[in-house]
Amino acid sequence: MIKKIFLVTLFIIFIAIGCQKTSSNAIKIRIGPEPQTIDPTLNTSIDGATYIVHTFEGLTTKDKDNKIVPGVAESWDISEDGLTYTFHIRDDAKWSDGQKVKAEDFVYSWQRAVDPIVASGYSYQLEPILNAKEITEGKMDKSNLGIKALDEKTLEVTLKAPTAYFLELTAFPTLFPIRKDIVEANPDGWTRDASTYIGNGPFIMKERRIDDRLILEKNTNYWNASTIVPNELEFILMDNPTVAIASIKDGTLDYGGSPPVQEIEALRNEGFIQTNVSLGIYFYMINCTNEVLKDPRIRQALTLAIDRNYIVKNVTKAGQIPAAAFVPYGVSDVEGDFRENGGNYYDVSEDKHQENVEKAKALLAEAGYPNGEGFPVIEFKSNQGGGNLQIFEPIQQMWKEALNIDVTFSAEEWAVFQQTRVDKNFEIAMHSWFADYNDPLTFLAMFLSYSDQNHSSYNNPEYDRLINIAMNSGDNTVRMNAFHDAEKILINDMPLIPLYFHTTTALMRPNLKGVVFDKLGMNRFFYVYREETK
């Protein structure tokens, strides 16, 4: 009887999938499971940000080549000292319900983002703005933020120091406008209902099915609607990569997000993989408050015992680069590439691995655990899926063979795991970070002692001092020198274990065209279409 019910259920599911395939021309996309939030102020994840950039737009935006171009603001003026930006909002900028976008919408949104009561995880993104840091620390009222609506169409922003990447920041979701009347009418639920999720971007939410799908349709009130190609996007909220692969192959899904690492090679041979360069790093976060892991010698030993070349060649297999620093290749320096100029902080070449293992053993013995004797079993946590277990298993074995220590594995649902990191309820945890803009600060700021993203509880006053020098200087040479010095301190203290610099591997059907792959991870589907097959 149970078997019969199971088969009937499967039949119904397949019928439903088939109906979806034939009843809609929507582009079907899977990025991940139900996001923790799609509130622009509160979101801190790539999947949430991807949905947000489709439904909201900032003062600036990005074109098909990922270059910063005018968005809600049709133009802007910058004062000679680089401290005052005056943005001119275009006349045809509208919300999805037809109301005009006003300068005051940005004032409300940005003040909300720095309000310590709201506790935005990305409040530090606004720190270049005058008084932002003092407000988030509770030292000033949010009304003192350096932003002012001169009239409905003119927004004045005052910075505390010249900020070379500020126009990139204005294209980032945390700085998108939101409507005060909408949010304050239902602060906890406005993003979970299509009727109240009012945005100003290329798409409007048509339907919101929690833990199932998020359906968007072209926003006819969007000022640049004529350039938007698909009429409907259907984001399938799915965390099962096996189902995603099957759905890509049978045509019920057009884009499947990141595939499991163990499947990449076979999928590439079948034509279902596209690999792109990205500004990101995959690493393990270490809880520095843990009684054992608070010793930097142990953290260094764990790092040196890992053979990264084995991981990227035999597990991930997508052109990733073994990481021996934190800021990836591709981030700009005063001249040239920040990573190339800074180099590696330890040697990760294949012929140096055994030498690194010997250093790791010596460090562990120096910390009081010769040959791992007396070292407690520690736990590694990650979210489910995504290949995290496949990456961890050889590392687990490396730690056992090199250091004679045992590490267990625990996996949680994505939303739960995100909160686990925020609560610092872990010993070692998986983490992945993509740039929010092209500057070393987007990586190094997360380890400031007061950063909400500093899940490791790392605290080094000299590191804070150097990052603050970089944040407050208008001299790019001074900034970059401070960043290099700070990164050296960070890697020496080792509150994280760098593993590899990302490439982005996308599971997608060969006939899907027009996806804009962003090095920051927020891929855009503004121009996608299915190419007719002959």
Give pLDDT tens digits for 381-420. Answer: 999 877 899 999 999 999 999 999 999 999 999 889 999 9
The whole-number pLDDT of residue 349 equals 92
Angle at 56 between CA 78 and CA 35, to 5 degrees: 125
Q: Are 94 and 200 in contact (CB under 8 A)?
A: yes
Q: What is the pLDDT of residues 336-378, one digit of tens each?
A: 999 999 999 999 999 999 999 999 999 999 999 999 999 999 9
* pLDDT tens digits for range 113-137: 999 999 998 998 999 999 999 999 9
**d(C-alpha 262, C-alpha 245), whole Å:** 12
- What's the whole-number average pLDDT of the chain? 92
Give the DSSP letter of residue 261. G
Predicted local confidence at residue 534, as pLDDT: 61
CATH fold of the domain at 277-503: Dipeptide-binding Protein; domain 3 (3.10.105)
In tens, the pLDDT along 185-243 reads 999 999 999 999 999 999 999 999 999 999 999 999 999 999 999 999 999 999 888 89
Which pLDDT value is given to residue 5? 39
Q: Which long-range CB contacts under 8 A does 220-227 form with residues at least 24 apart?
A: 221/94, 221/95, 221/96, 221/97, 221/98, 222/57, 222/94, 222/96, 223/72, 223/90, 223/92, 223/93, 223/94, 227/526, 227/527
pLDDT digits over 311-331, tens only? 999 999 888 999 999 999 999
Find, among 46, 60, 49, the residue nearest to 166 by Cα.
60
10 pLDDT higher than 70: no
- Sign of the CA dihedral with 279 first, then 282, 284, and 287 last: positive
For 22-39, how does the pLDDT look when each residue is reduced to its tens digit (9 = 90+)? 346 899 999 999 999 999
Residue 140 has pLDDT above 70, yes or no: yes
CB-based burial of residue 352 (10 Å sphere; 0-12 exposed, 13-18 middle, 19+ buried)? middle
Q: How many CB atoms lie within 10 A of CB 526?
A: 23
Contacts of 369 by beta carbon, 8 Å cutoff, 6+ apart: 298, 375, 405
Percent of the chain with pLDDT over 70: 95
pLDDT tens figures, 267-312: 999 999 998 878 999 999 999 999 999 999 999 999 999 999 999 9
State how beta strands 147-151 and 154-158 pair. antiparallel
Structure-model confidence comparison of residues 112 and 519, the more confident one: 112
Number of helical H runs and strand E runs in the chain: 17, 19
pLDDT for 386 equals: 73
What CA–CA distances, in Å, run from 18 to 21, 27, 212? 5, 15, 16
456-497 pLDDT per residue, tens: 999 999 999 999 999 888 888 999 999 999 999 999 999 999
The pLDDT tens digits for 66-89 are: 999 999 999 999 999 999 999 999
Please state whether the predicted TM-score (pTM) of the whole model is above 0.75: yes
Place of tokens 């976060």: 285
Both tokens assigned to 485? 């010095």
- CA–CA dist 234, 29 (Å, integer): 6
- The H-or-E segment that residue 277 falls in is strand 273-286
- Residue 515 phi, psi (nearest 5): -70, 130
The neighbouring-strand residues paired with 508 are 255
For residue 160, the model assigns a pLDDT of: 93
Give residue limits of the domains in the chain: 277-503
Tell me, what's the pLDDT at 49?
A: 96
Q: How many residues does the chain have?
A: 534
Per-residue confidence band for 108, with pLDDT thresholds at 50, 70 and 90: very high
